[in-house]
Amino acid sequence: MIELQTLICCEIISRDADTNKLILVNLFEPLEAEAFPLFLPNFSVLAHFLRADTDPENPTGTLSIKVGVTEVLAAPMNIDFKGKMNTRAIARIQGLIVTEPGIVSTTLRIEGGVEGSYSFTFKLRVPHIQVSST
Amino acid sequence: MNIPREINVEEIDLIYIVSNTPAYLFKRMRGSESVLWMASNLSTEKLVQLYTYLRSEEGNNNYPVSLSYATLIALSTKELSLATDTLKRLPLIGLDWGKQILSIANSQAVPTLTTDLKFTPPRQRSLIFGGSTSENTLTIPSSVRLKL
């Protein structure tokens, strides 16, 4: 059975062509924003899979991103083991709009029932007003 | 051919001497600063040139066989398709563990597939289910069009 070992969401994922190592920039963690809707210009998802000899080389994956209960993105994700026992899949979403404060959850499902998710919260920042008496 | 100063031949040779299996040699070499330097600073072409020189008669006489292994392992860190194609073409004459090293490198390589997705903002529910859509059509009089 295919195993989803890692699922991480961050702003930018860069792969070093020489060493094949990945650089992840700005992991998404609980965040606060001044106002909503909020536009995230870069949103990347990294998934790392392991498979056994009997598993298919090109399983079908579906990526889903929800803000609260609203699904804002659902798209197929290409997975190709290329004859190896492990593989990485990166999805780059060119701009994501977070319509309201809440939990942003990214879920990746692979045929055969494997599922993984990464969630973080967006809160509305309460403005701090300082009153000074003169 | 000059071996770059950053490559510590003694360190590489020491790793080779104490290695009793190809897997151990691979693991230790991958952690070696000299191999990391080679992987980061030398292009695939340069590494192939270096490897070819080291396996030539002159290179073989002047430098230890451990340096050939180090070059081979540095090559295995390059981008998957490039490294696989290059490594397949290299002659492994004189390297007893050459095939095993390539096999380990091949099993450790991780293919990476990138998908670019375009985000489409969700439509308003009223527009999807309510059926209350409107269109504005502007008709330009022929006189205006003629003036243009």
Contact A82, B79 (CB under 8 A): no
Average pLDDT, chain B: 78
Alpha carbon of A26 to those of A33, A82, B98: distances in Å?
16, 29, 40
Cβ partners under 8 Å of residue B104, min gap 6 = B22, B23, B26
Amino acid at B67: L
Q: Which residue has better confidence, B135 or B100?
A: B100
Report the first-to-last Cα separation within chain B, whole angstroms: 73
Q: What angle do CA A27, A28, A32 make, to 5 degrees?
A: 135
Measured between CA atoms, the residue of chain B closest to residue A90 is B114
How high is the pLDDT of residue B132? Answer: 43
pLDDT band at B83 (very low <50, low <70, confident <90, very high): low
User: Which residues fall within 8 angstroms of residue A9, CB to CB, at 6 or more apart?
Assistant: A27, A28, A43, A44, A45, A46, A106, A118, A120
The candidate with the shortest Cα–Cα distance to B73, out of B5, B22, B4, is: B22
User: What is the pLDDT at residue B91?
Assistant: 80
Question: Which residues in chain A are contacts of B39 at CB distance < 8 A?
Answer: 18-19
Residue A43, H or E segment = strand A38-50
Angle at B45 between CA B39 and CA B50, to 5 degrees: 75
State the Cα angle at A35 between A33 and A40, rounded to 5°. Answer: 60
The structure tokens listed for A86 are: 């492990």
pLDDT band at B1 (very low <50, low <70, confident <90, very high): confident
Whether B93 contacts chain A with CB within 8 A: no
In this predicted structure, what is the pLDDT of residue A51?
A: 87
pLDDT in tens, B39-82: 889 988 888 889 888 888 888 888 889 999 999 999 888 765 66
Domain locations along chain B: 9-107
> Among B27, B45, B13, which residue's Cα sits nearest to residue B105?
B27
**Chain A stretch 11-40, residues whose beta carbon is closer than 8 A to a beta carbon of chain B:** 15, 17-20, 22
Q: What is the pTM of this model?
A: 0.62
pLDDT at B137 over 60: no
Interface with chain A: mutation pick from B79, B85, B110, B118, highest number of A CBs within 10 Å: B110
**Local confidence pLDDT in tens for the 134 residues of chain A:** 888 999 999 999 998 765 677 899 999 999 888 888 888 999 999 999 988 888 888 898 999 999 888 888 899 988 888 878 889 999 999 888 888 899 999 999 998 778 999 999 999 887 777 777 66
pLDDT exceeds 60 at position B142: no
Quote the CA–CA distance of B34 and B11 in Å, as a whole number: 8
**Residues found in chain B:** 148
Structure ipTM over 0.85, yes or no? no
Q: What residues pair up with A77 in beta bridges, in sequence order?
A: A61
Per-residue pLDDT tens over the stretch B107-135: 777 888 888 888 776 654 444 343 344 44
Query: For the segment B25-44, what is each residue's pLDDT rounded down to a tens digit?
Result: 998 998 899 999 998 899 88
Q: State residue A108's pLDDT score.
A: 94
Chain B residues near residue A49 by CB distance under 8 angstroms? none
Predicted pLDDT at B136: 47
